[in-house]
C-alpha cells in the first residue's frame, strides 16, 4: 500500500518509461507519475519539449532520465531500450506506449507510404519496444499501458489508416494480456476521445479547422465537452497501479461518452 494520500497510487521506487512524453497526454502522464514518486525514463523525438518536461518533473519528484529518440527508426528503438536498461540496472515496472501520429484520409486519398507511416508510428514502434523491454517487465511482474483511441473501438469517417492502426493497438493489448497474464504482467489500454493536445494540428489541421472541430466535438461527446490530458493521465496511472491489480486486457474509453454516441 502507498503512503498517506496515495494509497494504491504510490510509485515510489518504481521505474516507469513513457514514450511520446514531450507533450499532450504523454507529458501529463509523466508529471502525474512524477508526483506519485516514480523514477521516470521519458522518450520523445522533440528534444526541446522533452527538456521542458524534465524541468517540470524535477520540481515535483525525482530527476527524470530523458532520451531523445525517433521511434520510427529501428536502431533508435534499440538504443532507447539499451539506455533504459543500463540507467536503471535492468529494472522496469511500467511501460506506457504513448507515442503516435494522426491525420485524415479516405482509402482513395491515402497513399501506401502514408499507411505504412501510420502503422510504423502507432503499432510497430510499441510492438518492438515492448518486445525489447519484456524481460525486465517479466522480472518485475510489471504493467503495460498502451495509448490507443476511441477510433480503435469504433470506425470514424475519413481516417481509415488511423482507425486501422488503433484497432491494431487494441488487439495487441488483448493478445499480450493473454500471453503475459500467466507471468503476472498486466496489459491494458486507454482509448481517449478528443483531448486538448497538439495531435490534430501536428496532423495537418489549421487553426480555423481545429476551432471548428472543437466546437463540433461538444456535440459528439456525451459530456458536452472535450477532454484534458490530465484526465487520460489519471486513467493510465490507475491501470498501472495496485488499484487495478486484477485488471488486464481492458481497452478503457476515456472519451466523455463519445463511443456510445450515435452519429450526427
- List, by residue number, the catalytic residues: 162
255 contacts 223 by C-beta, under 8 angstroms: no
Residue 199 to residue 121: CA distance in whole angstroms: 13
The 10 Å Cβ neighbour count of residue 14 is 21
Cell numbers of 12, please?
515510489
In the DSSP assignment, the letter for residue 107 is T
Residue 254 to residue 260: CA distance in whole angstroms: 12
Residue 128 to residue 105: CA distance in whole angstroms: 26
Closest CA to 46 of 71, 73, 64: 71
Residue 131 to residue 50: CA distance in whole angstroms: 24
> Which residue has 539506455 as its cell numbers?
83
Residue 88 to residue 139: CA distance in whole angstroms: 13
16 contacts 93 by C-beta, under 8 angstroms: yes
The sheet carrying 94-97 orders its strands as: 65-68, 39-44, 15-19, 94-97, 143-147, 186-192, 251-254
In the DSSP assignment, the letter for residue 197 is S
Q: Cβ contacts of residue 5 below 8 Å, gap of 6+?
A: none
Amino acid at each position: 500500500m502507498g503512503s498517506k494520500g496515495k494509497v494504491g497510487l504510490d510509485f515510489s521506487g518504481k521505474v516507469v518509461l513513457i514514450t511520446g512524453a514531450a507533450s499532450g497526454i504523454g507529458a501529463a502522464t509523466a508529471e502525474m507519475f512524477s508526483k506519485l514518486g516514480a523514477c521516470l525514463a521519458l522518450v520523445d523525438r522533440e528534444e526541446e519539449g522533452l527538456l521542458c518536461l524534465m524541468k517540470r518533473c524535477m520540481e515535483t519528484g525525482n530527476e527524470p532520465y530523458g532520451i531523445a529518440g525517433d521511434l520510427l527508426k529501428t536502431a533508435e528503438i534499440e538504443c532507447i531500450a539499451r539506455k533504459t536498461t543500463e540507467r536503471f540496472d535492468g529494472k522496469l515496472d511500467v511501460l506506457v506506449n504513448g507515442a503516435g501520429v494522426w491525420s485524415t484520409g479516405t482509402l482513395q486519398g491515402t497513399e501506401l507510404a502514408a499507411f505504412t507511416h501510420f502503422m510504423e508510428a502507432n503499432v510497430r514502434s510499441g510492438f518492438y519496444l515492448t518486445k525489447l523491454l519484456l524481460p525486465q517487465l517479466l522480472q518485475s511482474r510489471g504493467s503495460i499501458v498502451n495509448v490507443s483511441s476511441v477510433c480503435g473501438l469504433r470506425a470514424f469517417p475519413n481516417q481509415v489508416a488511423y482507425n486501422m492502426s488503433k484497432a491494431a493497438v487494441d488487439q495487441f493489448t488483448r493478445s499480450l494480456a493473454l500471453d503475459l497474464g500467466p507471468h503476472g504482467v498486466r496489459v491494458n489500454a486507454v482509448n481517449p476521445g478528443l483531448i486538448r493536445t497538439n495531435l490534430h494540428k501536428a496532423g495537418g489541421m489549421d487553426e480555423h479547422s481545429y476551432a471548428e472541430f472543437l466546437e463540433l466535438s461538444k456535440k459528439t461527446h456525451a459530456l458536452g465537452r472535450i477532454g484534458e490530458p490530465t484526465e487520460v493521465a489519471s486513467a493510465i496511472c490507475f491501470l498501472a497501479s495496485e488499484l487495478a491489480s486484477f485488471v488486464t486486457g481492458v481497452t478503457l474509453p476515456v472519451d466523455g461518452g463519445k463511443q456510445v454516441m450515435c452519429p450526427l
